[in-house]
Structures are given as structure tokens and as C-alpha cells.
């Protein structure tokens, strides 16, 4: 969730916010996940950003890479392991191993998790796939029941093929999905 208004509509949802919003939402008693966009300029300060978020009340740190190279992905993975251990906080790094993509490709051809944007729009997997939206939140169960997941699964299959061609040890899966969706959209 990106807006606390929708928390009641989806049981066990987590509120995902930017670093500057953590304290405000944690003070209201929400389970807060901080979303840190990992870009080349902030790889070296990732540990400090995560520590600041935990100090403000974040219960989980989620790191989403954008345009970082393979070396930075590995560096960030090591740092996030240290952060999880030192700060006793849950960490989600939006990458996967290329070995896992090869070993279990079916696990990546799916439509969940679902993301609820601030305006109530429900999208599959991650922000950036709005063209595949289920609709706007009213009844989450009704949206899921009426949704055709095949276009998203098709997208996942194409992205998986492209991701498997990546030779690095870590793959930014969500970034592959978003880039593939944009390329498929522009190719229409």
C-alpha cells in the first residue's frame, strides 16, 4: 500500500513509504516499510539511509534498484545482509539470483504480489505495470476474481527470457518487468 486509506481494504497489507514519511506513519501505529530507490549515486550511503529509516520507526527496509550495475547490486546485497543482522530489521531487496530464475522459472510467471497505489489503483507485482492494472480498489476480492492474469503472465515470460540472458549473479527482476512492459508498449 502506498496510502494508509487503503489499509483496511486489504488485510495484512504493509504501508510502503519514502524515507521522509516513515516517522509520521510509524507514529500513527502503522507497520511501515521504507522504500529506498537504489541508484548509482546512493549505493555508498545505503547503510546510512536504512539506519535512518529504522531509527524513524520502519519495521522493514525495501530496496529497489534502478540502473545500478552488477558490482553495485552485489555490494548492496552484502550491505543489506549486514543491515538486517545489525539492526534486526526485515530487509527486502528487489533482486533475485540468476540461478533461481533458471532453476524455477515458473515462480516468476505470476501476477502477485499486488500493489495498491495512492489513488486506489491495484497493479500486479510492482509499480510501473499500470497498463496491467486490475482496476481501482473497492472490493479487492471482486477485483481479483474479475481479473484476467494472462497478459501479465505473458509479460513475465518475455521478461524471464530476457533476464535469463543476463549473465550477472543478481537480476533486478522488477526492473526487467518494467523495462519489458515499456518496450512491449512502445512496440505496439
CB-CB contact of 152 with 124 (8 Å): yes
Question: Do residues 87 and 6 share a domain?
Answer: yes
Cell of 128: 510501473
Rounded to whole angstroms, how far apart are CA atoms 33 and 91? 9
Same domain, 72 and 113: no
Residues 82 and 140 both lie in one domain: no
pLDDT in tens, the chain (188 residues): 667 766 766 767 788 899 999 999 888 888 899 999 999 999 999 999 999 999 999 999 999 999 999 899 999 999 999 999 988 889 999 999 889 999 999 999 988 888 888 788 889 988 889 999 998 887 777 888 888 999 999 999 999 998 888 767 888 888 889 999 999 877 64
State pTM to two decimals. 0.74
- Name the residue range of residue 22's domain: 1-93
Spell out the long-range contacts of 121-124 with Cβ–Cβ below 8 A and sequence spacing 24 or more. 124/149, 124/152
Same structural domain, 88 and 103 = no
Residues 47 and 72 in one domain: yes
Amino acid at each position: 500500500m502506498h496510502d494508509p486509506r487503503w489499509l483496511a481494504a486489504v488485510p495484512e497489507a504493509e504501508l510502503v513509504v519514502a524515507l521522509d514519511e516513515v516517522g509520521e506513519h510509524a507514529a500513527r501505529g502503522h507497520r511501515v516499510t521504507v522504500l529506498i530507490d537504489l541508484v548509482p549515486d546512493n549505493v555508498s550511503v545505503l547503510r546510512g539511509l536504512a539506519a535512518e529509516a529504522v531509527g524513524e520507526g520502519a519495521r522493514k527496509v525495501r530496496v529497489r534498484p534502478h540502473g545500478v550495475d552488477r558490482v553495485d547490486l552485489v555490494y548492496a546485497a552484502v550491505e543489506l545482509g549486514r543491515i538486517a543482522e545489525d539492526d534486526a530489521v526485515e530487509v527486502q531487496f528487489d533482486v533475485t539470483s540468476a540461478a533461481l530464475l533458471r532453476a524455477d522459472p515458473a515462480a516468476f510467471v505470476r501476477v502477485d504480489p499486488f500493489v495498491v497505489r495512492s489513488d486506489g489503483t491495484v497493479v500486479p507485482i510492482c509499480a510501473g505495470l499500470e497498463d496491467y492494472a486490475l482496476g481501482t480498489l473497492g472490493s479487492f476480492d471482486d477485483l481479483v476474481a474479475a481479473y484476467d492474469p494472462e497478459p501479465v503472465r505473458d509479460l513475465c515470460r518475455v521478461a524471464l527470457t530476457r533476464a535469463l540472458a543476463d549473465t550477472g549473479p543478481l537480476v533486478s527482476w522488477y526492473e526487467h518487468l518494467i523495462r519489458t512492459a515499456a518496450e512491449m508498449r512502445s512496440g505496439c
